[in-house]
Structure 1
């Protein structure tokens, strides 16, 4: 009897999977698709071509015998069945991930897949090397790093840990401060030789300003607070140049095209070398501290906690500072918040 039961058991587990069944890979695929704005957006997130996404979706729909997404309009819309699948897919994948994490934690193993999101420039320069170091320490961990100029807009299904720079609008998010970071108003010596140095925030009205467009912030309002506790000043600039890439904005300033307000992590070495000059040092701008946001559903795993510890240890040292000299310290003093609006004109120059 035991032999018969064993034979039946092996016959069942060796049987082909019914065509109507879906795999965890299908579930992860559809979760990504459901959180995307379009098939092209989903293709970017999955790192495949849009036709590949369309083909895989068609195969999944054929296997299930139902439409999951209405693609008749410009934007894709989930059908009722698609909504149902997305809800259950997220729950199932969460449960599988939590189970894997629990089992790995019980045996003291750091394993599984780590998903990190970070701003473009900072992520390339300071997060990517830490992920490489983490992989060397924990070879059973796989990792993905998504670099985005608008990380705050990415669905929480896509990440375990997110690096954020600047003010946190959602106070309910679990966060850990990684490093202090100041905003610095600066320009190249060549620009200052041509246009002169502003002595008061209001004088920015007559200067060429360069703005970084990130997330949904009002990047044209520059806020200043005097260090002597005087009257704050807000200046509404009309930027001569804008970009969603901080490196581009910095390079324009280095080329002498205008004045920027940038994070010290991005400009400290250039200030130290004299390629950029700090301006309005009697004023401060709001700090833009670097923090790690921890996903309440996915960020509690042992691998996420260990990575966070490693990232914190790395960034706390502020590796962007070129040294401990007083010259480098003075070049990274920032600027703070304010009130008293104006409109700054930024012409070409």
Structure 2
């Protein structure tokens, strides 16, 4: 029976720090105590939880599965203790968040920094990666994604409306002209992110799909690199409006074909199915909604984008 909280807390710290020695230091106990607690826990569980060599530790599949349950149980116990002691439901423990690189740097990281400053018992681990995140395998509590997720087993909460729009630096448009219709883009340079292929498919104010064709000369697997190219006047970029609000407001970038945008591509928070939402995750998600509501307001983009959104939202 797994009934010793010290064993469970020690197991969690070993997994988090990747070292028995680091866990002992963090917990303020001797290395022999940590080793004994882990051995006893494995004996109780009846399986090997962590593979140990002289050089490294690695979680077994059984250890990974148990760790998910241990973290949930300890979080619930610690939250209950906090409520009893203070009468408040205080965000605490380790919050692991996954987010796309560019969007994560601009929106997610600042929010997490402010949350950690307000709540001294909250720790944060932010993973920035543009690939699809394995919430269970990587122990991500909340994943932020742009566009509807492909995995139907995930629980999702919509945080903000969003569309992708065409932008370029004013200097680029001064040199090449300001297109008034999609056909005017033929021969102009496009900036492409990842494995995205042309044509880009956008919707006009009438809701009709239009293929956008550009000559791709610069491509990168880094969204930030593509964004920097656009700011430097290297070409036309298609990117989420939420990522572009500050650059548009400061006139560093300019809308291209303002009557066109992608189909809706909302921002979602994803959670693993069957997992209850912790106090810290709820606090983070609520803060994200407030942040993105400010950035996603019509005035942050343009009146035409607001008109397009109104037409696209009609049944």
Could you say whether these structures have the same fold, taking a TM-score greater than 0.5 normalized by the shorter chain as the test? Answer: yes
Contact 1:254 / 1:276 at 8 angstroms: preserved in 2? yes
| Residue 23 of structure 1: how far off its partner (Å) | 3.4
Residue in structure 2 matched with residue 87 of structure 1 by the alignment: 65
**Residues 276 and 171 of structure 1: is their aligned pair in 2 closer, same or farther, counting only changes over 3 Å?**
same
| Residue 90 of structure 1: how far off its partner (Å) | 3.8
Q: Is it true that 1:266 corresponds to 2:243 in the alignment?
A: yes
Residue in structure 2 matched with residue 293 of structure 1 by the alignment: 270
**Residues 256 and 137 of structure 1: is their aligned pair in 2 closer, same or farther, counting only changes over 3 Å?**
closer
**Aligned pairs for 1:14-29 within 5 A:** 23-28=11-16
**Residues 256 and 299 of structure 1: is their aligned pair in 2 closer, same or farther, counting only changes over 3 Å?**
farther
Residue in structure 2 matched with residue 196 of structure 1 by the alignment: 177
| Residue 98 of structure 1: how far off its partner (Å) | 4.1
Name the SS of the counterpart of 1:143 in structure 2.
Answer: strand
Report which of the two structures shows the higher radius of gyration computed on alpha carbons. 1
Residue in structure 2 matched with residue 132 of structure 1 by the alignment: 113
Contact 1:174 / 1:294 at 8 angstroms: preserved in 2? yes
**Aligned pairs for 1:197-216 within 5 A:** 197-213=178-194
Contact 1:182 / 1:334 at 8 angstroms: preserved in 2? no
**Residues 117 and 224 of structure 1: is their aligned pair in 2 closer, same or farther, counting only changes over 3 Å?**
same
CA distance in 2, matches of 1:211, 1:190: 19
Residue in structure 2 matched with residue 225 of structure 1 by the alignment: 203
**Residues 86 and 291 of structure 1: is their aligned pair in 2 closer, same or farther, counting only changes over 3 Å?**
closer
Contact 1:182 / 1:335 at 8 angstroms: preserved in 2? no
Q: Is it true that 1:146 corresponds to 2:119 in the alignment?
A: no
| Residue 226 of structure 1: how far off its partner (Å) | 2.1
| 1:141-185 CA distance string (max 9 Å, x none) | 2222222232x2344342211221223323442222222223221
Residue in structure 1 matched with residue 211 of structure 2 by the alignment: 234
Contact 2:98 / 2:133 at 8 angstroms: preserved in 1? no
Say how many residue pairs are matched: 271
Residue in structure 1 matched with residue 23 of structure 2 by the alignment: none
Q: Is it true that 1:329 corresponds to 2:308 in the alignment?
A: no
Residue in structure 1 matched with residue 78 of structure 2 by the alignment: 100
Name the SS of the counterpart of 1:100 in structure 2.
Answer: helix
Name the SS of the counterpart of 2:159 in structure 1.
Answer: strand
Contact 1:220 / 1:238 at 8 angstroms: preserved in 2? no
Residue in structure 1 matched with residue 35 of structure 2 by the alignment: none
Greater shift after overlay, 269-278 or 158-167?
Answer: 269-278
| Residue 27 of structure 1: how far off its partner (Å) | 4.2
| Residue 223 of structure 1: how far off its partner (Å) | 0.8
CA distance in 1, matches of 2:139, 2:197: 27
Q: Which of the residues 143, 151, 155 maps onto 1:162?
A: 143
| Structure 2 unpaired stretches of 5+ | 19-37, 52-57, 310-315
What RMSD over aligned residues (CA atoms) do the two structures have, in Å? 4.0
TM-score by structure 1 length?
Answer: 0.63
| Structure 1 unpaired stretches of 5+ | 1-12, 31-59, 70-77, 337-349
| Residue 258 of structure 1: how far off its partner (Å) | 0.8
**Residues 98 and 295 of structure 1: is their aligned pair in 2 closer, same or farther, counting only changes over 3 Å?**
farther
Name the SS of the counterpart of 2:162 in structure 1.
Answer: coil
Q: Is it true that 1:276 corresponds to 2:249 in the alignment?
A: no
**Residues 176 and 253 of structure 1: is their aligned pair in 2 closer, same or farther, counting only changes over 3 Å?**
same
Contact 2:159 / 2:267 at 8 angstroms: preserved in 1? yes
CA distance in 2, matches of 1:126, 1:68: 36
| 1:87-141 CA distance string (max 9 Å, x none) | 3444444443444345445654422221122222222222222222222332222
CA distance in 2, matches of 1:241, 1:225: 24
| Residue 299 of structure 1: how far off its partner (Å) | 5.6
